[in-house]
Amino acid sequence: MKEEWLKYLSAPAPRYTSYPSALRFGEEVDAQLYEEKLRGVGQYEPVSIYVHIPYCKQLCWYCGCNMRVENRPERMRAYVDSLLREINAVGERLAGNGRVASVHFGGGTPNMLPAGELGCILDAIEDRFGLTDDACLAIELDPRLVRPGDIRLLADLGFSRMSLGVQDFDVRVQWAINRLQRFEIVEASIAEMREAGVEDVSFDLLYGLPKQTRDSFSETLDMALSLSPDRFAVFGYAHLPAALPRQQMIKQEDLPDPQSRAALAEMACDRFVAAGYAAIGFDHYARPDNALAIAMREGRLRRNFQGFTDDIAETTIGFGASAVSYAGGVYVQNHKDIKSYRHKVDAGALPVARGVVRSGRDQQYAATISRLLCALEADLAPLARFMSPDERAQIDGSLDRLERDGVIRRHDQVIEISSEARSLSRVVAAAIDPYFNAAQKGAPTV
């Protein structure tokens, strides 16, 4: 990475899986508003569904997700009952409108639930929302919990996309994050997937983990590539021990410094591109014949809560604790706490805790930021009318710096991110983001 880009590496930047970010969610959004927006969903409007399973077998110390360790099946069954209630409640309000384009099971660990219970959830979705054969069904899996035969059951339920939490193959790193999983386990899982005809397998990898070195990560990448998944997602570990107590188990001194972090991310990128994968956005890689790569080539790539996606649906309906929905310009988040979530749903209410209404300005910024992250270029002209002279000056200042450093090129109002600076695209997005800029005022800038 270029010398002058290093300073951007340690610069904070939102992940932009939603805009405005979840940090801005507040109480202005309630169940009543969500219901109103659900009524506005069009008859054949594509809708994507997200189901959150907040349970894991064991705590991984790096994790930033809403999850809890749970080993009592009866508790999980009770949660599934609440999920089914919620699906029915939302389905009633949609009254036949909407058309399911995709269903994504995330967590936590969705395969904490037996296939039969996942099947019940899918049946409820099919009954309430309709599910056709071309809807895409995806699930995140912990390979340590995959028993022989499980994958076949999931494939028979219709899951055609599976993503495995791999993180890192090095045993020293695995000890440092409390996630021991042998290579053979992942190897066996993907073999079963291929056997069952699953043609879209993704590996999640993490860089910036404790004890990770260039050599160890290089080996992890080789091992991962030897299994030929169809995609990779390579996320950077964010160390926020003050906000996430479990991360206090990770020692600061074991973490690679920002420069090494960048080198790890760059190594992954180089290695995957050399192996024939297309670089998608700033952290995904896909085989050229994979749906994600095709979507990118055709300019259909989008960003949603799961990252970069080929899903065409704007409207997202989230089920489960902490799940986020988006309908009619409003983000809605369910109660995070499983108890409050269940309490609300079991009382017949929609378990809405908070959210935010996207203003016209937000929508315009969201579209521009999405273009920057997905296509690496965007036209700022449509934003001009939303900018105060002060904001304009601040943004121009940041963009000037980024241009001087070769991160971006500008032609008139169009910003183009240099393809080698792809990993910095969030920093460019942050430079034009009014919420981010307002929050940074007073804080030292790069």
**Residue 293 tokens, joined:** 């790569």
Residues facing residue 357 across a β-bridge: 330
Q: Which of 17, 66, 97, 437 binds another protein (CB under 8 A)?
A: 97
Could you say whether residue 116 binds another protein (CB under 8 A)? no
Backbone angles phi, psi at 200, to 5 degrees: -135, 90
Stretch 312-341: interaction string toward another protein, x if CB under 8 A: x-----------------------------
Name the packing angle between helices 73-94 and 338-346 (round to 10°): 50
Q: How far is CA 149 from CA 145, 202, 246, in A?
A: 12, 19, 33
Could you say whether residue 46 binds another protein (CB under 8 A)? yes
Could you say whether residue 119 binds another protein (CB under 8 A)? no
Kindly indicate which of the ranges 64-72, 132-140, 277-285, 361-369 contains the residues binding another protein, using the contact rule CB under 8 A.
Answer: 132-140
Q: Which of 89, 100, 113, 353 binds another protein (CB under 8 A)?
A: 100
Burial class (CB within 10 angstroms; exposed 0-12, middle 13-18, buried 19+) of 229? buried
Kindly indicate which of the ranges 39-47, 168-176, 361-369, 381-389 contains the residues binding another protein, using the contact rule CB under 8 A.
Answer: 39-47
The label of the residue with tokens 């028993």 reads 147
Query: SS3 letters for 49-80?
Result: EEEEECEECCCCCCCCCCCEECCCHHHHHHHH
Contacts of 72 (CB under 8 A, 6+ apart): none
Could you say whether residue 273 binds another protein (CB under 8 A)? no
Is the CB of residue 87 less than 8 Å from the CB of residue 319?
A: yes
Could you say whether residue 258 binds another protein (CB under 8 A)? no
Is the CB of residue 432 less than 8 Å from the CB of residue 439?
A: no
Could you say whether residue 348 binds another protein (CB under 8 A)? no
Q: Which of 229, 209, 208, 216 is nearest to 272 (CA)?
A: 229
Could you say whether residue 246 binds another protein (CB under 8 A)? no
Could you say whether residue 130 binds another protein (CB under 8 A)? yes
Could you say whether residue 128 binds another protein (CB under 8 A)? yes
Which three-class secondary structure state does DSSP give residue 262? helix
Could you say whether residue 310 binds another protein (CB under 8 A)? yes
How far apart, in whole angstroms, are the C-alpha atoms of residue 128 and residue 29?
24
Q: Which of 27, 36, 127, 403 binds another protein (CB under 8 A)?
A: 127
Q: Which of 29, 60, 87, 131 binds another protein (CB under 8 A)?
A: 131
Kindly indicate which of the ranges 5-13, 120-128, 188-196, 346-354 contains the residues binding another protein, using the contact rule CB under 8 A.
Answer: 120-128
Kindly indicate which of the ranges 42-50, 79-87, 201-209, 248-256 contains the residues binding another protein, using the contact rule CB under 8 A.
Answer: 42-50
Could you say whether residue 289 binds another protein (CB under 8 A)? no
Q: Nearest approach, Cβ of 126 to another protein (angstroms)?
A: 6
Backbone angles phi, psi at 213, to 5 degrees: -125, 170
How far apart, in whole angstroms, are the C-alpha atoms of residue 426 and residue 274?
24
Burial class (CB within 10 angstroms; exposed 0-12, middle 13-18, buried 19+) of 134? exposed
Which three-class secondary structure state does DSSP give residue 203? strand
Q: Nearest approach, Cβ of 88 to another protein (angstroms)?
A: 8
Could you say whether residue 134 binds another protein (CB under 8 A)? yes
Could you say whether residue 158 binds another protein (CB under 8 A)? yes
**Residue 9 tokens, joined:** 């590496």
Q: Specify the residue, 19 or 129, whose C-beta has the smaller distance to another protein.
A: 129
Could you say whether residue 96 binds another protein (CB under 8 A)? yes
Q: Which of 120, 121, 114 is nearest to 73 (CA)?
A: 114
Backbone angles phi, psi at 166, to 5 degrees: -100, -50
Q: Which of 75, 300, 336, 392 binds another protein (CB under 8 A)?
A: 300
Could you say whether residue 371 binds another protein (CB under 8 A)? no
Q: Nearest approach, Cβ of 274 to another protein (angstroms)?
A: 30
Q: Specify the residue, 114 or 119, whose C-beta has the smaller distance to another protein.
A: 119
Q: Which of 30, 81, 126, 266 binds another protein (CB under 8 A)?
A: 126
Could you say whether residue 43 binds another protein (CB under 8 A)? yes
Residues near another protein (CB under 8 A): 43-44, 46, 95-97, 99-101, 123, 126-134, 158, 300, 310, 312
